[in-house]
Amino acid sequence: MSSRQIDIVVVIMAGGAGTRFWPLSTESRPKQFLNLFGGRSLLQQSYDRVANMVPDERILVLTNQSLVPLVREQLPQLPGSNVIGEPQRRDTAAAVALAALVCRRRYGNPVMVVLTADHLIKPVELFRKTILSAANAAAWEAVLYTFGVVPTYPATCYGYLESGDKVADDDGLGHFDLVRFVEKPDTPTARGYIETGRYYWNSGMFVWSVETILEELKRQLPAHLAHLAPAVEREGNSGWEQELAEAFRNLEATSIDFGVMEGAGHIRMLAATFYWNDVGGWLALEEFMKKDGSGNAYRGNLEALMAKNNLVFCDDEEETVALIGVENLVLVRAGKHTLVVPRERAEEIKQLVKRLQTKKK
């Protein structure tokens, strides 16, 4: 079924801080705005994947208020009012609630396709087919859809979805009842999940009708709607930004997974077979970078002597980095900043950024 037969609005969440890509990703230009590969930023690639599915007037981008000018710069084809600034970071439940209320006010009760701005997905045709399959079902049933990605290895950096009974097959795309969400596991647990054949990676993408998600928000996070609904009624008028800021100050920070999906009644998972990478940190870029004969992945000019299995990224591709006798390091050069960290400790970059932010304040 084509998108023209279904009333769809696409919501792209683009408010993340991207701290695991420091020093290239900064508070003023986080990960989703970076051109890491492909000639387009991750945000622009997210837009490109849906641009032929719905008109620009039906694509909303939610981001941090300070990043609104950057979104408009990278996506000038979107109406300015379709880039909505969140005055504070209150996690994804707040973003979804705000988007749902705006969609209801502007469009009635369309199907919302909720995506993130920092994933790498291909092929685009299969992605669109998968989205439309879920949208078609959500247009006719009061059901919340999430997408499970077929795992290719026992990843410990992703949450998992446990699938239940298969309820439909749409031209090879399996629709399943969802049994539960599970947090990031350790390696033996993840291996056990994969062996069962019932577990999928949690992609963080969703499809539902506006009224269906608002009903769940009303039941599980009523304070979100109580604070946001009056502010949204002022959208486009004087006082809108001030009322939205006041509403956000009163919101609890919680994710849509924890705040709504884990406690929802009618959830389905569509088993996605497209390639998916959440580009969670520097090591996620390795498969897209050049490699030398010693397993060093690099961007820029690399001179390596008795050095192996390192990842080197230079923001300035004309820059030269020389390595001698080192192994399993991540080395990043961006502007006046340099990062050096052992591969196995790359997750600790988030802690470093918090420390740097504290010092800056």
Cα dihedral sign, 36-38-41-47: negative
Q: Which DSSP state fits 168?
A: E
Rounded Cα distance, 1 and 17, in Å: 36
Residue with tokens 């900043």: 337
Contact between residue 28 and residue 51 where contact means Cβ atoms under 8 Å apart: no
For the chain, list the domains and their CATH numbers: 3-277 (3.90.550.10), 282-360 (no CATH)
Cβ neighbours, 10 Å, residue 272: 25
Q: Residue 58, class by beta-carbon neighbours within 10 Å (0-12 exposed, 13-18 middle, 19+ buried)?
A: buried
- Prediction pTM value: 0.91
pLDDT of residue 361: 64
Residues 95-154 have pLDDT tens digits of 999 999 999 999 999 999 999 998 999 999 999 999 999 999 999 999 999 999 999 889
Block means of pLDDT (10 residues each) for the chain, 361 residues, are 72 90 90 86 96 95 96 97 95 96 96 95 95 96 95 88 94 94 90 94 96 96 96 89 94 93 92 90 90 96 97 95 97 95 91 85 64
Residues 245-279 have pLDDT tens digits of 999 999 999 999 999 998 998 999 999 999 998 88
Phi, psi at 355, each rounded to 5°: -65, -45
Nearest partner of 244 among 91, 92, 84, judged by Cα: 84
CA distances 258 to 144, 164, 201, 300, Å, are 14, 19, 16, 41
pLDDT of residue 306: 97
Task: Find the Cα–Cα–Cα–Cα dihedral 111, 116, 120, 126, rounded to 10°.
Answer: -10
257's tokens: 């997974």
Contact between residue 116 and residue 123 where contact means Cβ atoms under 8 Å apart: no
